[in-house]
Structure 1
Amino acid sequence: SSLIKGNGKPDKKVMSITSKGKEELTNFLKTKTPLFSRSPLLLQVFFMASLNKEERIDYFSCLIEESKKSLSSLSKASSLIKEYSSYIDLKNNDPMYWGFTLEYGILMEKTILSWASSCLERIKNESSLD
């Protein structure tokens, strides 16, 4: 890595990748990953009926709050991508792909938030057998 003094901008630390690291990264990028994987969250929800109603409500309430926090953080990332892109000399479309990952994260969090909110309402409205 090296430090480049910024003229009127913050200094930036430029990182570089070794040729071996580049080779490993390329191999990783060419590897097809499964779309679906095991989800601890879904496993917990699958067996959630064994918890009492208050615990189930608490679980989904916490999930909703965490999802809102994550969405708030992700919403700030778009401007960070633009800002960072202006500091570095890009020879490719990196920011577009960074945006793709950000978009995925935002859509996933919105989906989780909507789903968890729906689950919470149904739990609150269920007749209690506890």
Structure 2
Amino acid sequence: MKSYNDTTYAILGILTTECNSGYAIKQFIDRSLNHFWKISYGQIYPTLKLIVQEGLAEVRTSSNPGKPDRNEYYLTSKGIEALKSWLEQPIEQLPVERNEILLKLFFGRYQAREKTVSLLQDYKQELEGRFQTYVSIEQAIINHQDNEEDSMYWLFTLDYGKRTTKAAIDWCEVTLDTISMEGD
């Protein structure tokens, strides 16, 4: 079976939900995938075009009175098989994180200690905000999972985000404490 890039598989996966227009796909990405998988708006339509060309989805035009026609995309059996095949493949590599705070901290001896502390405090505050976002998303999923077969899997990915964010917050606290002790 032909291999595609991860963005293609992500969009195939999104098409298994009720999101079937480019706009709905973008909203879905912004509300969920964007927390762990970045897909730009500019990637969506070319990927949809490819998916249709490859026979992985078909496009239908939807008309609503008073609104412009819109294209809706629906997976074909070939598309479902391509998604299943990709899901069953082993992971090729562990994710590599590009983290600006770690890069700056790595060279931190060239920065005033107060600036390093401020940087870490700001980062910790951002992480705490992200954690609260995850908690809100979790509640929304739990409250609206009426027979939603995907909910359990969405909660798994959300749990990962919560745990890694909590670990980063803990790391900030320990690092800040260590820097404070070094300054005394």
The TM-score with structure 2 as length reference comes to: 0.52
Q: CA deviation at 1:85?
A: 2.2
Gaps in structure 1 of 5+ consecutive residues: 1-13
Match of 2:87 in 1: 29
Gaps in structure 2 of 5+ consecutive residues: 1-17, 21-73
Match of 1:106 in 2: 162
Report the residue type matching 1:127 in the other structure.
G
Question: Cα distance 1:23–1:58, how it changes in 2: closer, same or farther (>3 A)?
Answer: farther
CA distance in 2, matches of 1:45, 1:26: 41
Q: Which of 36, 39, 57 is the equivalent residue of 2:98? A: 39
Deviates more, 1:37-46 or 1:70-79: 37-46
For 1:1-130, list aligned pairs within 5 A.
14-16=18-20, 17-19=74-76, 22=80, 25-26=83-84, 28-31=86-89, 32-41=91-100, 42-86=102-146, 90=148, 93-127=149-183
How many aligned residue pairs are there? 112
CA distance in 1, matches of 2:168, 2:82: 33
Question: Cα distance 1:44–1:25, how it changes in 2: closer, same or farther (>3 A)?
Answer: farther
SS of equivalent to 1:34? coil
Match of 2:55 in 1: none
Q: Deviations over 1:45-99 (max 9, x none)?
A: 212222111110111001110111111111112221123322xx64xx4111111
CA distance in 2, matches of 1:120, 1:80: 33
- Give the root-mean-square deviation of aligned CA atoms: 2.6
SS of equivalent to 1:44? helix
CA distance in 2, matches of 1:117, 1:76: 23
Which structure has more relative contact order (CA 8 Å, sep 6+)? It is 1
Question: Cα distance 1:52–1:79, how it changes in 2: closer, same or farther (>3 A)?
Answer: same
Q: Deviations over 1:14-38 (max 9, x none)?
A: 4244337646644553451422414
Identity among equivalent pairs (%): 24
